[in-house]
Amino acid sequence: MPQITPLRAIVALLTTFGLGYVAYTLGAEPLPVILACIGGLAGGIALGSSGNPNAVPSEPASPEPPPISDESLFPTLEELMNAIDDPSLIIVGRRVVRANPSALNLLGTHIIGEDVRLAIRHPAAAERLTGEAGAEESRVAMELVGIGELERPWELIIHELKGNARFIRLADRSSAHAAEKMRADFVANASHELRTPLASLLGYIETLQDGAAKDKKTRNRFLEIMHGEASRMQRLIGDLMSLSRIEAEKYRAPADDIDLGPLIEEACRATCTESGFDSTSVEIRPETGDVHIAGDRVQVTQLISNLVGNALKYGKGADPVVVGYGSISETMVRITVQDHGEGIAPEHLPRLTERFYRIDPGRSRSLGGTGLGLAIVKHIVERHRGRLNIESEVGSGTKVSVDLPKKPSAMSSSRNENVTKAGTPSLVATRDSR
Amino acid sequence: MMPKNSEHTVSAFDDDIGELRALVSEMGGLAETAIGDAIHALIRHDLETASRIVEEDSRIDELESEVERLAVRLIALRAPMANDLREAVAAIKIATVLERIGDYAKNIAKRVPIFDHRTDIEPLSILPSMAQIVQEMVHNVLDAFAARDAEVAKQVIERDSAVDDFYDSLFRALLTYMMENSHNITQSTHLLFIAKNLERVGDHATNIAEMVYFAATGDYLDDRLVGEPPVPEAGETEE
């Protein structure tokens, strides 16, 4: 008979108290719970003293609590399996005997009772899953790609259980891979975005060289298109450069004293002229008196111009875009840009500030978008230790609000702390409440 | 802890069928991964992966003969009837096809060293999207096999025409490319063979789908649904 160490006794105690707790959380009456705990205590003491072998549970290698009178308090294996969010299986030998709902969802409902290789047919896993049980390690983890869906990364974790059983859990690794992929995608996207206008420019130039230049009408039309493509490239390069500049200065807080009113007015006027809109298509509504912020003049101008530009492009144009600003607290100023366009569906909101993310790629390009506007806004807001919030309702429009810290009149450390805490921008989707 | 499975009278028979299906699925996993890896290796010019794929093909061959042996023994000893017999026959046929798919993957992998690191063949960029569809077909048909799902099998067959379209457009693009510059001919021809291999994998996925459909329902699929093979172009050979 194996030795009973004090450690083992403590484990037994903890196990039984744990069971008591589980029973409690399952909504049991307090009395049986207390009884269960006392039962555990008794078992633990019996184990610790090791005097009477009859008092010790039959399998000391894995200390089991002594029987509790009311077994209905225990969660069933099925309940436990269902409580695991990751796809999980129990296999005995090679056969799948239990699978939780997310496993059935991922691998198909047919897998129970089948050979595990029919459920998970990845070659790397097959070896581990079908090998002899009781291998040297009790926990094996491996990275797999393409279970359920093609190209989806998973971590497969195998726990050897007693007998010939194994517990298998699949942990989703998509998010870890996503960050890496995003960086690679960025370079690919950026070069692709640049290559498209370049290719069409070259095409037009070649056509002109082939003789189309003789016809004045064609030539002018071509030149106009070429001008458009070239300016698109210019805009894109400009956007890329400002993005990298903002990122480089990320940790240096901006310090210009900006009077927000005149700056907003000027930025709106410039944006309207640039994108060919009447200056009446933007309405500026100051909500409080003049407000000063600590910011980078160029960047704040760009922020407003990007937001207003978006609102003009995607708003219907009938109602003016409303730009409001005013102080909302001792330390913060809020700028809002609201359009009355078609709005954005909630599933797009979290991804709007991703680089080159477009809800409708064709439309965005035809309107001259680079796909970087909101990414730049996000970075500017982050650098200013502010907050970005996008609310949108399909059919009635989008409202973007930016909270920026005020210029501190006197240095006060607690205020500064408040300001710097606002970290990543948050996005909120408002749905119809019916 | 294991619930006693008492639904079947001759559980040894079920074990055999289960083992047979598991082996086919394992083969499928290998073949599927080999195709995906081969294309990745080609695009990234990953010689190491390429040579690993060539080596690992022997494992698929081993499994094929194992499936054959087991199926023949099952038929001889247990004289299965109806859907069990169909299952056994389908397993043999699917194993043969999967072995071919493994060979195509090996063929693609063997050609990886031919493409130089700096090669910038424009039509090469079409290949990943084509491979994507082919891979999905193989993946889905193996899922259909595991689930005995005739409906999914049918959907796989419907996708084959997309692969053929890809092949046709790649064929044309490569032809133009070769005409433009005779220096490109060697690499373009190899690329053409790779595309052809992928197209064949797509066809084989369709074959498996037909067998899965047959094993599940006992019916043969309508020939019209299976679709016409692409028009053979000049100089095309079966590999």
Retrieve residue A416's tokens: 């500064």
Retrieve residue A251's tokens: 């940790």
Check whether A45 has a pLDDT greater than 60.
Answer: no
* Mean pLDDT of all residues in B179-206: 88
Question: Which of A92, A97, A121 faces B26 most closely, judged by CB atoms?
Answer: A121
Check whether B231 has a pLDDT greater than 60.
Answer: no
Mutate to test the interface with B, among A118, A120, A127, A164 (most CBs of B within 10 A): A118
A324 shares contact with chain B (CB less than 8 Å): no
Percent of chain B past pLDDT 70, that is, above it, reads 85
Contact A121 B32 (CB under 8 A): yes
How many other β-carbons are positioned within 10 Å of the β-carbon of residue A33? 21
Contact B25 A77 (CB under 8 A): no
**Average pLDDT over all residues of chain A:** 75
* Mean pLDDT of all residues in B69-73: 90
Contact A117 B29 (CB under 8 A): yes
The pLDDT, as a whole number, for residue A133 is 53
Check whether A26 has a pLDDT greater than 50.
Answer: no
pLDDT in tens, B42-61: 888 888 889 999 998 999 99
The pLDDT, as a whole number, for residue A69 is 62
A116 shares contact with chain B (CB less than 8 Å): yes
Are A426 and A389 contacting, i.e. CB atoms less than 8 angstroms apart? yes
Check whether A28 has a pLDDT greater than 80.
Answer: no
Residue of chain A with shortest Cα separation from B31: A123
Question: Which of B2, B19, B147 faces A110 most closely, judged by CB atoms?
Answer: B147
The pLDDT, as a whole number, for residue B2 is 40
The pLDDT, as a whole number, for residue A17 is 46
Numbered residues of chain B with Cβ closer than 8 Å to any chain A Cβ: 1-3, 5, 18-19, 21-23, 25-26, 28-30, 32-33, 36, 56, 59, 132, 135-136, 139, 142-143, 146-148
Contact B3 A117 (CB under 8 A): no
Domains annotated for chain A, with CATH where assigned, are: 6-73 (no CATH), 77-172 (3.30.450.20), 182-248 (1.10.287.130), 256-421 (3.30.565.10)
pLDDT bin (cut points 50, 70, 90) of residue A356 is: confident
- Best mean pLDDT range from A9-13, A121-125, B124-128, B130-134: B130-134
The pLDDT, as a whole number, for residue B238 is 42
pLDDT in tens, B120-177: 666 676 788 788 889 989 999 999 998 888 888 888 888 888 888 888 888 888 888 8
The pLDDT, as a whole number, for residue A317 is 65
Check whether B233 has a pLDDT greater than 60.
Answer: no
Residues of A in contact with B148 (CB under 8 A): 110
* Mean pLDDT of all residues in A239-261: 83
Contact B22 A115 (CB under 8 A): yes
Alpha-carbon distance of A383 to B176, in angstroms, equals: 51
Are A423 and A379 contacting, i.e. CB atoms less than 8 angstroms apart? no
Point out which residues pair with A390 in neighbouring strands. Answer: A400
Retrieve residue B87's tokens: 């299952």
pLDDT in tens, A147-205: 777 777 888 888 888 778 888 888 888 777 767 777 777 777 788 788 878 888 888 88
The pLDDT, as a whole number, for residue B205 is 93
pLDDT bin (cut points 50, 70, 90) of residue A25 is: very low
How many other β-carbons are positioned within 10 Å of the β-carbon of residue A392? 25
Contact B32 A146 (CB under 8 A): yes
Residue, of A387 and A252, whose pLDDT is higher: A387
Alpha-carbon distance of A115 to A136, in angstroms, equals: 23
Alpha-carbon distance of A387 to A379, in angstroms, equals: 10
Alpha-carbon distance of B238 to B229, in angstroms, equals: 13
Check whether A326 has a pLDDT greater than 60.
Answer: yes
Residue that is written with structure tokens 């890896």 in the block: B37
Check whether A51 has a pLDDT greater than 60.
Answer: no
Residue, of A98 and A182, whose pLDDT is higher: A98
The pLDDT, as a whole number, for residue A380 is 92
Contact B23 A117 (CB under 8 A): yes
Check whether A81 has a pLDDT greater than 50.
Answer: yes
Retrieve residue A295's tokens: 């910011």
End-to-end CA separation in angstroms for chain A: 67
Residue of chain B with shortest Cα separation from A108: B147
The pLDDT, as a whole number, for residue A36 is 45
Q: Please report the ipTM that was assigned to this predicted complex.
A: 0.73
Neighbouring residues of A165: CB distance < 8 A, sequence distance ≥ 6 = A90, A91, A92, A97, A133, B1, B2
How far is the alpha carbon of A22 from chain B, nearest alpha carbon, in Å?
20
Of A43-47, A134-138, A283-287, the least confident? A43-47
Point out which residues pair with A321 in neighbouring strands. Answer: A282
Eight-class DSSP state of B218: S
Are A344 and A398 contacting, i.e. CB atoms less than 8 angstroms apart? yes
Secondary structure of chain A as H, E, C letters: CCCCCHHHHHHHHHHHHHHHHHHHHCCCCHHHHHHHHHHHHHHHHHHHHCCCHHHCCCCCCCCCCCCCCCHHHCCCHHHHHHCCCCCEEEEECCEEEEECHHHHHHHCHHHCCCEHHHHCCCHHHHHHHHCCCCCCCCEEEEEEECCCCCCCEEEEEEEECCCCEEEEEEEECHHHHHHHHHHHHHHHHHHHHHHHHHHHHHHHHHHHHCCHHHCHHHHHHHHHHHHHHHHHHHHHHHHHHHHHHHHHCCCCCCCEEEEHHHHHHHHHHHHHHHCCCCHHHEEEEECCCCCEEEECHHHHHHHHHHHHHHHHHHCCCCCCEEEEEEECCCCEEEEEEECCCCCCCCCCHHHCCCCCCCCCHHHHHHCCCCCCHHHHHHHHHHHCCCEEEEEEECCCEEEEEEEEEECCCCCCHHHHHHHHHCCCCCCCCCCCCC
Neighbouring residues of A294: CB distance < 8 A, sequence distance ≥ 6 = A253, A254, A255, A256, A257, A258, A384, A405, A406, A407, A408
Check whether B98 has a pLDDT greater than 70.
Answer: yes
Are B67 and B20 contacting, i.e. CB atoms less than 8 angstroms apart? yes
The pLDDT, as a whole number, for residue B237 is 44
Domains annotated for chain B, with CATH where assigned, are: 11-226 (1.20.58.220)
Point out which residues pair with A143 in neighbouring strands. Answer: A155
* Mean pLDDT of all residues in B185-193: 87
Question: Which of B36, B136, B147 faces A108 most closely, judged by CB atoms?
Answer: B147
The pLDDT, as a whole number, for residue A58 is 44
Extract the runs of DSSP E, i.e. beta strands, from B96-172.
none
pLDDT bin (cut points 50, 70, 90) of residue A401 is: very high
Check whether A52 has a pLDDT greater than 70.
Answer: no
